[in-house]
Structure 1
């Protein structure tokens, strides 16, 4: 009888041990599962952070590209302005230099005209006089091609920006402020006056 009771107790103890072991195994499995779940969450979080970082890098790259593009466009605009300003300054310097040369040439042209006016009627048919006249005409043509023009005077209204009035006269046949006579020719180079005309103004 005692032997049977002992065997039963041992069986109970064994069953208890097995149950306890099963509980331990179950708890361990739960812990392992929980740990795996935490690892998965961590991995998912790291992946999400990496994707977020990549997404943030794209706008930063676009912003940098936009800044570089803006800087390039500003540089191009500044260079274009510099080129236009340089061309304008070069053109202005050329015109200033050309006007200075023309001013030195005009007295020579005046002397040509005085010389031709002093030739008598008998001498105008000579080869010498005709040669001088041809040189004068060539001289005038070259200046005209270069943009040098004579300022119109007699019969035109006096313009202080073009004419220099050195004398006034009362003349009923002429209107008020009309140029009656020219003493010295004036010239323009393109749109600027090289030398004002010396004139006599009526009324």
Structure 2
């Protein structure tokens, strides 16, 4: 009798163990079966949702900035623009001032040229016997001093005699016959011309060979 009880107990234990194993197996297979059992439309919707999420992550709109930070950036940009505009205005104003100053300077220097002409005429009119005299020597020193100061300011004489006639620098007022120079060459200078830096202060008045 005890033997029969033991057999019955063993059978029950085996059945319980088998039932537990079946439950574990069923639990492991359920996710796979559910995934396989899903309808095609559901699977498609999930796939589309995944693609949309990816697109949003890659190409979606950036997270909106803090309104305060946007205001700060806007003000910084405005300040930088105003600084750039002011710098351009300053450079333009400095350039205009320099041009106005140079124009005024050239006008003053141009008015001094007749004085230079008179010095040259006066020195040329001094008799040969008096050229070594104190008066002529003093006049010559003043003339040289004046020409040195003009040169320091950027005033230089224009080369004329022996040069090819150039209307940019020379003003032809007559034709001069010359066996020394070819046609179109300045043979005589009637009034000396001057440059102020790169600008013609006064054209040379010349005679040109025909």
Same fold (TM over 0.5): yes
Question: Hey, what does 2:144 align to over in structure 1?
Answer: 137
Q: Does residue 175 of structure 1 match 2:195?
A: no
Aligned equivalents of 2:177, 2:132: Cα separation in 1: 40
Question: Hey, what does 1:94 align to over in structure 2?
Answer: 101
Question: Hey, what does 1:63 align to over in structure 2?
Answer: 70
Query: How many residue pairs get matched?
Result: 148
TM-score normalised to structure 2 length: 0.66
- Residue by residue over 1:29-64, the C-alpha shift from the partner in whole angstroms, topping out at 9 and shown as x without a partner, is xxxxxxxxxxxxxxxxxxxxxxxxxx85x5323322
Q: 2:193 aligns with which of 186, 189, 192?
A: 186
Question: Hey, what does 1:160 align to over in structure 2?
Answer: 167
Q: Does residue 202 of structure 1 match 2:178?
A: no
Gaps of 5+ in 2: 1-62
1:178 shift after superposition: 1.3
Question: Hey, what does 1:110 align to over in structure 2?
Answer: 117
Question: Runs of 4+ in structure 1 displaced over 4 angstroms?
Answer: none
RMSD: 1.5
Q: Report if aligned partners of 2:176, 2:209 keep a CA contact under 8 Å in 1.
A: yes
1:189 shift after superposition: 1.1
Q: Does residue 79 of structure 1 match 2:86?
A: yes
1:67 shift after superposition: 1.3
Q: Does residue 119 of structure 1 match 2:155?
A: no
Gaps of 5+ in 1: 1-54
Aligned equivalents of 1:184, 1:170: Cα separation in 2: 18
